[in-house]
Chain A
Amino acid sequence: MKRKYITVILAAMLTTFMACDKYLDLQPSQSISEEIVLDNDKNVKNVLLGAYSIFKSADLYGGNILTFSEVLAGDGEIFWSGTYTDIREMFNKQMGAANRDATAIWQTAYRVINITNNVLSAIDVVNDADKGSVEGEALFLRALIYFDLVRFYALPYDAAGNNTQPGVPLVITPTRGISDDNNVARESVEAIYTQIVSDLTRAAAVLPASNGVFATSGAANALLARVCLQKGDYNNARDRANAVITSGVFELMPSYTAVFNNNEKSAEDIFINRITTQDRFSAMTEFWSIPEYGGRDGDIDILDAHLNLYVEGDQRKDLFFFGNGQWRSGKWNNQYGVVNIIRFAEMYLIRAEANLRLGTSTGATPVADINTLRKRAGLGDDYYATVTLNDILLERRIELAHEGHKVHDVKRLKLNVAARPYNDPKLVFPIPFREVEANPNLVQNPTY
């Protein structure tokens, strides 16, 4: 009797043993494999959108790139009272090389750069009609990020020097595998700026004038104006700013209050990060605002030294509010509001400053441009009869307050932060400790 069973059993067992390999070939459900991504128009556009999806992170244009510029140079005008020690170290100029935020910005930035490099590598499969837009947006994002990287991680650009000081590693091809070739050294600051200007010039030429919330030719020109101003190239700064102003695409919002806390891109916004309710919240709200609006505890206090810059009647001062025991900036009280990255008012400031420095009046006189902004702030039609460079710089400080320009202006204008001169190495982020460890070709910044 048993023998019969044995036969059946052994046959069954053999079947079990022959269970084949296919059983081990499982495929993920939320991801797709690399090979099939970059071979068609639709996917390449999706990857471009992917670049924006990282660009929007808190560590980049979700807010920290802007906030940290203010924190690094905010002495006397703002005060970091938050509990995040990495940011407090930044505020106190006591950062270590392993600073979490300096590391996160670097990592996230290069993530976007790699994605844009992937898009650019596959530009040939994009439909002809959209090629310009796809290429231009990728170049724009890459340039935007390199510009912030070189400003945060390298000693400042000096218009009078040859700028051979180390900038950041320049990666413009997509990563396909890991080898020693990935240990890229830092290019000079000059080389980085050259790449940025080249990318933006191309982007401005191929991008459409209108493109929803995405990059436009106006955005490329405006960013180029900002880059040229940082370089002290006032001719190009003036001309690019003037091109944006005369393009007719943008206009100043009727009131200063209307510029901020918008759910959508406004007429004044040249380039934004659009935060939606699907995104957790804006990192600007997180640090600048208070819990009532979705912020932390009010991590950044606005001090009297800043509030005293405003003249009586300046409506821009009205945006400040008293919350959680201190004065706060009211620009970021909508946790799902846009983060204004480049806005139209800045173009007037760039054109005015460049015109004044060059003794020209391309587009308009400096005094006319500044009065345009003062008028919108509720200070009358012709506030100034004449303007000096200091008037323009003060206007810039007020109009663009707490929008991420502070430390870059300090370096450009060779000002001081408390007792530290503009080129103090402590006003530069460390190259992240882990990067120096992972890449033997990276040179650390002085003092870190």
Chain B
Amino acid sequence: MKKFILLFALLIAGVTLYGQTIRVTGTVTDQDDGSTLPGVTILVRGTTTGVVTDAAGRYEINTAPDAVLVFSFIGMQTQQIPVQGRTVINVVLAREIATLDEIVVVGYGTQIRSKLTGNIARVAGEDIEYLPVPSVQLALQGRAAGVFVEAVTGKVTSASRVRIRGSSSISASNEPLYVLDGVPLSMEARNIHGGDINPLAALNFNDIESIEILKDASAAAIYGSRAANGVILITTKKGREGKTRLSFNLQTGFANPSNKREFMDTQEYIDYFRHAAKNADAYEDRIYGDPPGFNNWWQGFVESRFRRYSGHAAILDADGKYIGSEANTNWQDQAFRQAGLMMADLSAQGGTPTLKYYASGSYSKQEGIVVGNGFERFSGRLNVDNQVNDWMDMGLTLSLSRTDVDQINADNAFANPIQLVALVPISPLRDKDGILSNVPVTTYYNGLRHVEYADRNMNEVRSTTNAYMDFKLFSGLNWRNELGYDVYTIKENNRYGELTNTGESTQGYAFSNYAQTQNLLGKSYLNYNNSFGGITLNAVMGTEIQYALLDRTYVEGQTFPLDDFKTLASAGEITGGTQEITEYSFLSYFARANFDYADKYLFSLSGRIDGSSRFGTNNRYGFFPAAAVGWIITNEDALKDNYNLSFLKLRASYGVTGNAGIGNFQHLGLYGVNTYNNQSGLIPTQIPNPDLGWETTAQMDIGLDFGFFNNRVSGEIDYYYKNTTDLLLNVPIPSTTGYTTMTRNVGSMENRGVEFVLNTNNLVGAFKWNTSFNIAYNKNEVTDIAGQDIIDPGGSRFMNVVMVGQPIGVFYGAEYAGVDPDNGDATWYINEKDADGNIINQGATTSRFSEANFIVLGKPNPHLMGGLTNSFSFRGVELSFTFQGVTGNMVHLSGDSYMAANGEWFDNQLRSQLDSWRPDNRTTNVPEARLGYANGVQGRNSRYLEDGSYLKLRTLTLAYEFPRSMLSRIGVERFRVYLIGSNLLTFTNYTGWDPEVSSDFVVSNIRAGIDFYSPPQPRSITFGINLGL
């Protein structure tokens, strides 16, 4: 980019002619290993004259004796060397390290890092290249301070939760705005089957040049009403001048679940449930006094169920009495598998001084670690920049990708393969005819039938294009026009055979769902750069218009003659169909001015006016301004060129951003259509609110950027305070009105935190060691919710609530007090509260769940998180690893109220339940096993809440890059072999599959940290080669 600007300026200035030329020759070598570098571009500064080094790294060029030569090569620091009459100039190029002079992409422009006044985290494309993870969000884990990324489950296509500096909304979206090459992306995926998916799965992140994360108001305010959750700018690779460079990457490997849990086997199961039945009978005698008809009923019942669940594997004695089962099925092993991974990428990059391009094609196949789950992605990209003449540039970025997804159910469905763990070891996998066994033999529906007897395919096609024309009006003033188009379609075809529970009673069932989101964008802005009298000015002003349309059609049918007929055309009856069209628009005006005086005092003013169809007629336009100041202390004369303290900048910003992430038309009073008796009727669906507007987040940020020892040690410290008011809140209203909620701008919430980033070059020279560390603390607090104390969407199964004075989504339930050693009853703390809400009679317990008062038991989001990356390299050998961790959050093991339920019902139990209370085992945390009687298994119960802190070894890369000197002989520029391990280690006290979880069927702003039969993250190892020509 820098070269581009430079070149551009030079072209405008015109070519100067020199009278005298000399011939300069030399060799260019790599500082790391001393090998010669072929393909280095050498330009005479101020001209278009240039040459490239040959295979042996040699060059020769004719130039004026007082000229300056510019040596540049990808991944190397550019060097400018004055000729000074010499005829031999040998050059050693050093590898590029992130420096304070790097160019950072900001909204509608770029800036030099050292002059930033806002907080922007940058992740370079090469840092995440070839990571074997399915989406760009997951590639960011642990790489930017204050950016929390969580995959909600371990399914390949699962949605991820991204929180930048905490949650700022209760009812509206908490996800950041994603902007791909200037196009704000639609993040709405309207699939029907399989829970929340990730709409960015279609993006091949090997095409990414850099990702900039705009965190504070000064950086983000230019995105106005959509910036309150931060903005993630994704910039793809551009063409570079010079000969075409081809890069080919091939990668293959495998993945396994990163964790498994231990379940009972056949013998343990039978023993345990006989014991639980006996206890149930004894318990009835205790509470009912042994009434007639109750006599040992459960003990008979359990034997009848054993026989039922054993199916053809039942072992009976001569009298027909149940003895045991020949089966010992490990259902968990049936749910998981070793998954294959394969990725291939080919990219080409090159161009002339006026026409440059980047083109790529890639294929990725990632099987899920859960049976039936997987995805394939084909993607292509073409980025072109063309300098038409000395006052006009034009170009485009174009991507097209297709993913093919093998779907599995959302976590709460019986057909979710992970729910197989509820099936019991005594049940055989298949019946005598080889058909997968099912109820009544299995305790619940055998979800493998969905894998074997159904076809569930989802196909996504996404194309994002942005075309621009840039006019140079006069020196320093550019006028840029862009047209963007993002189209995202989802096509789901599901067909359930007669052996599935969906198709069983309907003689086969199928649906087809087609959803398309189109997003059109036009923008036009002026960009002005100038320097005068020690002042450097950079200003942007423009307008943007955006329109998005979602169109979805759905058809379903049943009664198929045979399972072999796959499409709805063969359905005997079309039982349903619908169409949905919805749209929104934004009309915006934005401006920004950055200026600095003497490279020391930095000022920035920015703002945006946003109008949107989503908001009420009384509140249609919002204004979002921000201001920032910075002081580069080390540019003061007294500190200039100080080796020890090489850089110090103090900066502060304040501004206002908004959140428009609610549905469309929420401000209108509406009637919708609903049917009865196949006739359409009208029903009121929404109460009007013409005052509806956006949420407002005011954010203050104070930061210090520092560099020591010639910037070998550099970093940032930031403190921020975010106050969100006018929360878009779905305020619960009395249902007796006929409505349950109304979207209103009420309530407030705040986030405050500290971020710390430290980058060090511990060792330089032949053996290199770099460390990059970030840690962030965030405290979230709900300060007002429309005058109410609590919003509780929990019901009896989930316990996340919103409560004043607490972080969003806190777990609110009964506090488990362990087991009564005398009788094995589960007990809870009563936690009785006085009029002021203080707990009285601390420590008093009860065995009646209903007597226990709910208290706040923990929060679902971490308050502390961090990442640590270390890279070592020596003579082409490279080792790097990234650790990422979070702490302070709890996870609700919601599924454990079935699988760790001390034998309350017939679901197979975790082996931890073997420790349940017995007269000879009185000190335990597992209550007495009682079949049919809930003994401590209530959902809103801290028994099922655990610390969700973890530290994961996210990635480990070991690579060897062959020396160039060796490769140049065979005409190869780069050859690298590597191994990448992902999620190799997890340190946690969590007893479930994976503490990184939010279950895909419930995940929301409030409901997070829920583990309900959710698969863990995959642990993968891939081997790859990378070839550059």
Query: A residues touching B (Cβ–Cβ < 8 Å)?
Result: 2, 5-6, 9, 12-13, 16-17, 19, 21, 23-35, 37, 43, 46-56, 76, 81, 83, 85-86, 88-89, 92, 94, 96, 98-100, 103, 106-107, 110-111, 113-115, 117-118, 169, 171, 174-175, 177-178, 182-184, 212-213, 274, 276-279, 290-295, 297-298, 305, 323-325, 335, 419, 432-435, 437-439, 442, 447
User: Can you list 24 residue pairs at the A/B interface with Cβ under 8 Å?
Assistant: A17-B543, A21-B611, A26-B585, A26-B613, A34-B684, A46-B680, A50-B671, A50-B683, A50-B684, A53-B675, A54-B683, A98-B794, A106-B735, A111-B683, A115-B738, A171-B736, A178-B733, A212-B677, A277-B558, A277-B576, A291-B504, A324-B439, A437-B791, A442-B734
Query: B residues touching A (Cβ–Cβ < 8 Å)?
Result: 288, 293, 304-305, 308, 391, 439-440, 444-445, 471, 473-474, 479, 501, 504-506, 522, 524, 526, 543, 545, 547, 558, 573, 575-576, 580-585, 587, 589, 611-613, 620, 664-665, 668-688, 732-740, 742, 788-797, 849-850, 897-898, 905, 934, 939-940
B737 cross-chain contacts in A, Cβ below 8 A = 110, 114, 171, 175, 178, 182
Q: Please, how many angstroms separate the alpha-carbon atoms of A50 and B670 in the complex?
A: 13
Q: Please, how many angstroms separate the alpha-carbon atoms of A91 and B742 in the complex?
A: 33
CB A26 to nearest CB in B, in angstroms, measures 4
Which chain A residue lies CB-closest to B620? A24
CB A334 to nearest CB in B, in angstroms, measures 10
Contact (A175, B681) CB under 8 Å given A2-B474, A89-B796, A437-B732: no
Q: Please, how many angstroms separate the alpha-carbon atoms of A28 and B789 in the complex?
A: 34
Contact between chains at A52 and B939 (CB < 8 Å): no
Contact between chains at B445 and A297 (CB < 8 Å): yes
B668 cross-chain contacts in A, Cβ below 8 A = 28, 31, 33-34
Contact (A30, B581) CB under 8 Å given A99-B796, A113-B738: yes
Contact between chains at B612 and A53 (CB < 8 Å): no
B474 cross-chain contacts in A, Cβ below 8 A = 2, 6
Which chain A residue lies CB-closest to B392? A5
Of B444, B445, B589, B734, which one neighbours A182 at CB under 8 angstroms? Answer: B734
Q: Please, how many angstroms separate the alpha-carbon atoms of A325 and B675 in the complex?
A: 37
Contact between chains at B738 and A28 (CB < 8 Å): no
Interface centre among A27, A107, A291 (most CB of B within 10 A): A291
CB B785 to nearest CB in A, in angstroms, measures 10
Contact between chains at A49 and B733 (CB < 8 Å): no
Q: Please, how many angstroms separate the alpha-carbon atoms of A103 and B793 in the complex?
A: 10
Of A50, A291, A439, which one neighbours B674 at CB under 8 angstroms? Answer: A50
CB A53 to nearest CB in B, in angstroms, measures 4
Of A29, A99, A110, A212, which one neighbours B581 at CB under 8 angstroms? Answer: A29
7 A-B pairs with the lowest CB-CB distances in the bound complex, closest first: A114-B738, A49-B681, A34-B669, A50-B681, A294-B505, A53-B674, A50-B683
Contact between chains at B735 and A94 (CB < 8 Å): no
B795 cross-chain contacts in A, Cβ below 8 A = 86, 98-100, 103
Q: Please, how many angstroms separate the alpha-carbon atoms of A76 and B573 in the complex?
A: 41
Q: Please, how many angstroms separate the alpha-carbon atoms of A171 and B737 in the complex?
A: 8
Contact (A31, B672) CB under 8 Å given A278-B575, A291-B504: yes
Contact between chains at B735 and A23 (CB < 8 Å): no
Q: Please, how many angstroms separate the alpha-carbon atoms of A89 and B797 in the complex?
A: 11
Contact between chains at B440 and A324 (CB < 8 Å): yes
Which chain A residue lies CB-closest to B849? A94
Which chain B residue lies CB-closest to A434? B732
Q: Please, how many angstroms separate the alpha-carbon atoms of A171 and B439 in the complex?
A: 46
Q: Please, how many angstroms separate the alpha-carbon atoms of A345 and B582 in the complex?
A: 49
Contact (A25, B613) CB under 8 Å given A54-B683, A182-B737: yes
Contact between chains at A100 and B797 (CB < 8 Å): yes
Known contacts A76-B293, A325-B305; 16 additional CB pairs below 8 A are: A31-B673, A31-B686, A94-B934, A98-B795, A100-B797, A110-B735, A111-B739, A113-B736, A118-B684, A178-B733, A178-B739, A184-B734, A276-B678, A291-B501, A295-B505, A437-B790
CB B561 to nearest CB in A, in angstroms, measures 18
Contact between chains at A83 and B732 (CB < 8 Å): no
Which chain B residue lies CB-closest to A279? B675
Contact (A83, B898) CB under 8 Å given A184-B736, A276-B677, A324-B439: yes
Contact between chains at B688 and A34 (CB < 8 Å): yes
Q: Please, how many angstroms separate the alpha-carbon atoms of A32 and B686 in the complex?
A: 10
Contact between chains at A28 and B665 (CB < 8 Å): yes
Contact between chains at B734 and A294 (CB < 8 Å): no
Q: Please, how many angstroms separate the alpha-carbon atoms of A154 and B160 in the complex?
A: 45
CB B782 to nearest CB in A, in angstroms, measures 15
Which chain A residue lies CB-closest to B287? A419
Contact between chains at B664 and A274 (CB < 8 Å): no
Q: Please, how many angstroms separate the alpha-carbon atoms of A391 and B781 in the complex?
A: 64
Q: Please, how many angstroms separate the alpha-carbon atoms of A47 and B940 in the complex?
A: 40
Contact between chains at B504 and A5 (CB < 8 Å): no
Contact between chains at A447 and B850 (CB < 8 Å): yes
